[in-house]
Structure 1
């Protein structure tokens, strides 16, 4: 008897699994906070050059002295979004002479920052502006590279030492690095710690997802796989609340790190995965957990149920390269990979762009976070009604068109229609969040069973590449400047999203279909018989390699 058969008798989502599932979802709140934390911690406030020899200079100061006003360089471009050049200042060539011809334009070395939204960010504290502005994107890229490394490293670790021990290792590393970064003295130590946070943080999320799904019956896995992302969205609300109340990057970092202390108690409440124990030949330990589940679920346990087979994946002979061994599988795999990258880039990038859309930063961030709840609700409600392909394509195309449309109110409107820009960005975020929920299910069903784990692992890595690109796209508008620069990131997100969504139409639908088991099944899936005949010989040769 396989473990899924046992879960059917124990209850696919009984009282024990519900309690465990909630515990495993709680860390997703912290994951959401960490994954978007740098948006607040490294936000670049409005700034200008500090006035020379003016001790009490602030961003808002209105000096009556012509000397002070002329020192601030007017931007060379027609950038209506800037009052002053943020990186240069005029220095007088002769004392007491206010003639503009006697001033030399120089790069400034000190800045003052607008403090209505943040009293201090890591960016403003270390002056990561002008020539060093790209360092903020580098830091975010390094964080998401840490996420990629964490997915690979802790995935292997969880398969080697078990889900429970690996999860606890990630919690310990996360706790130490999250508190350590609060007092990072300079940029290098900051990004090193953020890299570690990214690895441990998402490593914990991945293990929680796997452990939760391994304890849930087959009919509940789609639901369970999406609901955990709702807790991720709760983490975004927690983050924006902490930012709004605290306004200082160190206090915000402490607020994000604090809940990690609670996760240390999981050693006493979270069991090892019975599936993993069975696969390791540790049958007695698995039986103990199964008996405990039966007791909590108030199910009478038949001893025959304890005769568990561990051959669920023994027949697997597929390898990751088999996804590229045939033209059909190659095209489908590349389309899925492209969608994973674009969904991730758009999801994170639109939120990173919150501070550049005009209006109140915290309101923008809050709205972009809260709209994830209807997005996931739509995913759950429509997934089994209109199908995976149509739903994913709809999310990507509608969200992408909304982002593309922002170019019109930004270029041809004024501040009075800023809510229109925000509304379009919100629709874009709904599209990316909803697509994120669908792509997990769609990909898992399209990849043949023999390469499903490998395919999903590779997809997750590709998604991290999209996350690494997101901060550069989000900051691309700063390089261009002006109104077009304000719209440029959303235009890029929108165009790529529409392209990825339309490419999905080339994929077969998986709703109510018997899923492919072998590579041969994967090639046949969704195709008529006359299109398959020319592929069979090629596949049979490649699978023998």
Structure 2
């Protein structure tokens, strides 16, 4: 009996699977915390140079005497918006106002929105502003390392051990970040956090999915994203209540330590145990599931064909052997790269938008939740191709339109840019969810695992680049500093969305199993050549890869 047949007999999403699935999804909340925390603790508050030698200097005026000292010490400059303000980077060379200035070495910060941020604590301002993008990029680089090495470790020592090892380092690094002594230590700890967060999300995703029946995997693969969204809503509320970055970091990092207690409730993957020849342990788990689900199992449930260990294999580079396969594979890789870059870039870009950062963050989370709900409703109705292309085009066009309120409007039209950015987030979130299912169905069975792994690598490279795009306005300045990142995200989204039209639809089609199947897949609509078959026959595991949001979403 094939393993998917066993799951169908058990009940594809019975009480036992639901219990394990929910437990496996809970860590996505903590991963969401750490992934989007930079929106708050890497924010750059309004600041100016501190008055040299004035111990009690503050950004807020302390009265006329304080204002006189500040004005004699700090020159006034025009910022990118043409507004005059006290210099962020220069002080006069002497205590009397003159023309000669020098770079300052200490700063004072506006504490209206944030009591403290990491960038303010480490004085990452002026010429050091690029450290913000670098810090985020290095974290996504950690996600890439984690995806590669922890994915291999998961196959070697098991899902459960890798899962809890990742949780341990995820919690340890998250807590340690709050006590980072300097920017170098802060970035190093965030790299470790990126590695471990990927391991947490990836293995939890796999543990949950490997006990879910074939027809429920699309649903389960998207529902975990709702746990991610729950984490973002909690983060927004805590960030609003705790304005000190270290307090916020600890508040979202200490409670997840309790996840280690799930060791006694989450079993090893029965599918992995079977692949390692540990049939007795796998059978014990399956029979426990049957007992909870109220299902009777035959005396013998496993045989040599259960996992198709003798199924012929192929290499992912065989997807480059013909023009059709080459174009199709490159289009898939480009879409993974773009959707990851845009999703994470728009998430980080919230801190650059006008208006209240907490409100903007919450609205973005609402849009993401709506996107996943729409995917659940529409994915099996409209098809993968139309929905993915439509999501990319919606998000891309919305981002491109931000150039008009910037070029032809004024500060009173800033809400238009924010609104368009939120629509862009909706499109990017939906596209990220769809591309998992779509590409898993396009790769033939014999290269599906390696094809999804290669796609995930491109997604993580997109994540590494996204912070620099999000901070383009900060690094370049000028009139388009707010819209420039959105214009870039919009242009690549539209381009990738149009390219996705080259891909064939997969809904209600018998999916390719071999390289030869993939060569002709999509060339005919004949029901005699392609027909709706059971998902068991395709041996597809639509949830075999992780999103994560480094993703991919880790």
- 1:113, distance to aligned residue in structure 2 (A): 0.9
The answer as to whether partners of 2:8 and 2:213 remain within 8 angstroms in 1 is yes
Alpha-carbon distance in structure 2 between the residues aligned to 1:482 and 1:84: 18
* Among 85, 88, 92, the residue aligned to 1:86: 88
Map 1:262-301 → 2, pairs under 5 A = 262-301=258-297
Across the aligned residues of Structure 1 and Structure 2, the Cα RMSD in angstroms comes to 1.7
- 1:179, distance to aligned residue in structure 2 (A): 1.5
- 1:527, distance to aligned residue in structure 2 (A): 1.8
- 1:58, distance to aligned residue in structure 2 (A): 1.8
List 4+ stretches of structure 1 deviating above 4 A. Answer: none
2:419 maps to: 423
The answer as to whether partners of 1:81 and 1:483 remain within 8 angstroms in 2 is no
- 1:230, distance to aligned residue in structure 2 (A): 1.0
Alpha-carbon distance in structure 2 between the residues aligned to 1:381 and 1:194: 36
SS for the counterpart of 2:26 is helix
* Among 238, 244, 250, the residue aligned to 1:248: 244
* Among 188, 191, 194, the residue aligned to 1:192: 188
The answer as to whether partners of 2:48 and 2:87 remain within 8 angstroms in 1 is yes
2:545 maps to: none
2:367 maps to: 371
Map 1:262-411 → 2, pairs under 5 A = 262-307=258-303, 309-411=305-407
- 1:66, distance to aligned residue in structure 2 (A): 4.8
The answer as to whether partners of 1:317 and 1:450 remain within 8 angstroms in 2 is yes
The answer as to whether partners of 2:417 and 2:483 remain within 8 angstroms in 1 is no
Summarize the Cα distance change of 1:262–1:78 in structure 2 as closer, same or farther, 3 Å threshold.
Answer: closer
* Among 158, 170, 174, the residue aligned to 1:174: 170
The answer as to whether partners of 2:472 and 2:481 remain within 8 angstroms in 1 is yes
The answer as to whether partners of 1:388 and 1:511 remain within 8 angstroms in 2 is yes
- 1:348, distance to aligned residue in structure 2 (A): 1.1
State whether structure 2 residue 210 is matched by structure 1 residue 210: no
Output the TM-score relative to the length of structure 1.
0.93
* Among 457, 460, 467, the residue aligned to 2:463: 467
SS for the counterpart of 1:183 is coil
Alpha-carbon distance in structure 2 between the residues aligned to 1:74 and 1:211: 58
1:535 maps to: none
Alpha-carbon distance in structure 2 between the residues aligned to 1:356 and 1:24: 34
Output the TM-score relative to the length of structure 2.
0.91
1:74 maps to: 76
Moved more, 69-78 or 41-50: 69-78
The answer as to whether partners of 2:3 and 2:307 remain within 8 angstroms in 1 is no
The answer as to whether partners of 1:143 and 1:194 remain within 8 angstroms in 2 is yes
More helix by percentage: 1
1:69-116, CA deviations, whole angstroms, 9 ceiling, x for partnerless residues? 254333356633663432223334xx6x54xxx331222211111111
The answer as to whether partners of 1:279 and 1:310 remain within 8 angstroms in 2 is no
Alpha-carbon distance in structure 1 between the residues aligned to 2:39 and 2:358: 11
Map 1:226-245 → 2, pairs under 5 A = 226-245=222-241
- 1:62, distance to aligned residue in structure 2 (A): 6.7
- 1:277, distance to aligned residue in structure 2 (A): 0.8
Map 1:513-524 → 2, pairs under 5 A = 513-524=509-520
State whether structure 2 residue 10 is matched by structure 1 residue 22: no
Alpha-carbon distance in structure 1 between the residues aligned to 2:161 and 2:130: 38
